């Protein structure tokens, strides 16, 4: 299928779309709801499987409670196929492995999910955003695990620990990646 943009413009669009997807992962993994809210166009859809209206707004509104129950979250994206379908539209399929660590009834557990994001992107005011995201779970593994407080860190105490809030070391280290509410 021929691209709807000249080659260089198509490459730039694909890079901007990949950056959008990576920003989404960062927003979720750092608990940055304000950043997540900037990544969707107005009226966008997001089918995550638990938001009844399948609206991006409902999904964004639920992020705080969703992440509040997790001790750790990490999204790893791999294959990302993108097709530019018009000057300001594109579609993509993103493979993702997401690691979730939490506690349920005093017992630690880990949920690892492999799946895909089926995305439609649109560009408004020079910026690519999600127009519609549909999550697909291809496989899931859940198992009990020691609580984070019960695990001794085998690595030197000088190693920085990641966090799902504004205290994550990346916010002090980077100047180019502020929290969404400070961008």
Instruction: Point out the least confidently predicted range of 36-50, 53-67, 145-159.
Output: 145-159
Instruction: Point out the least confidently predicted range of 19-33, 62-76, 158-172.
Output: 158-172
Instruction: Point out the least confidently predicted range of 35-39, 60-64, 127-131.
Output: 60-64
For residue 146, give the CATH number of its domain. Answer: 3.10.450.50
Q: What pLDDT score was predicted for residue 146?
A: 78
Residue 56 lies in a domain: yes
pLDDT at 1 over 60: no
* Backbone phi, psi, residue 3, to 5°: -75, 150
Residue 59 lies in a domain: yes
pLDDT band for position 5 (cuts 50, 70, 90): low
pLDDT band for position 104 (cuts 50, 70, 90): confident
Mean pLDDT of 72-81: 96
Whether 43 contacts 13, CB under 8 Å: no
**Inter-CA distances, 91 with 14, 71, 80, 82, 122, Å:** 10, 33, 10, 6, 9
Residue 1 lies in a domain: no
Instruction: Point out the least confidently predicted range of 5-9, 99-103, 131-135.
Output: 5-9
Residue 60 lies in a domain: yes
If one compares 69 and 97, the residue with the highest pLDDT of the two is 97
Q: What pLDDT score was predicted for residue 159?
A: 79
Please give the structure tokens belonging to residue 87: 């000057």
Instruction: Calculate the dihedral angle through the C-alpha atoms of 22, 146, 109, 32, rounding to the nearest 10 degrees.
Output: -30
Range of the domain at 81: 7-182
Number of domains making up the chain: 1
Residue 2 lies in a domain: no
If one compares 6 and 139, the residue with the highest pLDDT of the two is 139
Residue 141 lies in a domain: yes
pTM for this one? 0.88
The strand pair at 70-86 and 89-104 is best described as: antiparallel
Residue 80 lies in a domain: yes
pLDDT at 150 over 60: no
Q: Percent of the chain scored above 90 by pLDDT? A: 66
Residues 6+ apart with CB under 8 A from 58: 46, 51, 52
């Amino acid at each position: 299928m021929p691209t709807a943009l000249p080659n260089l413009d198509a490459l730039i669009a694909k890079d901007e779309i990949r950056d959008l997807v990576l920003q989404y992962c960062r927003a979720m993994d750092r608990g940055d709801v304000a950043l997540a809210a900037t990544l969707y166009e107005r009226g966008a859809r997001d089918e995550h499987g638990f938001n009844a209206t399948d609206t991006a707004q409902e999904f964004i509104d639920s992020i705080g409670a969703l992440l509040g129950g997790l001790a750790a979250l990490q999204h790893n994206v791999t294959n990302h196929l993108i097709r530019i379908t018009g000057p300001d539209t594109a579609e993509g399929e993103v493979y993702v492995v997401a690691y979730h660590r939490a506690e349920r009834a005093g017992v630690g557990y880990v949920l690892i999910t492999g799946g895909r994001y089926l995305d439609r992107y649109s560009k408004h005011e020079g910026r690519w955003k999600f127009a519609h995201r549909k999550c697909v779970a291809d496989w899931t593994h859940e198992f009990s695990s020691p609580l984070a407080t019960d695990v001794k860190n085998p690595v030197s105490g000088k190693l920085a620990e990641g966090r799902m809030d504004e205290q994550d070391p990346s916010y002090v280290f980077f100047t180019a990646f502020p929290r969404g509410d400070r961008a």
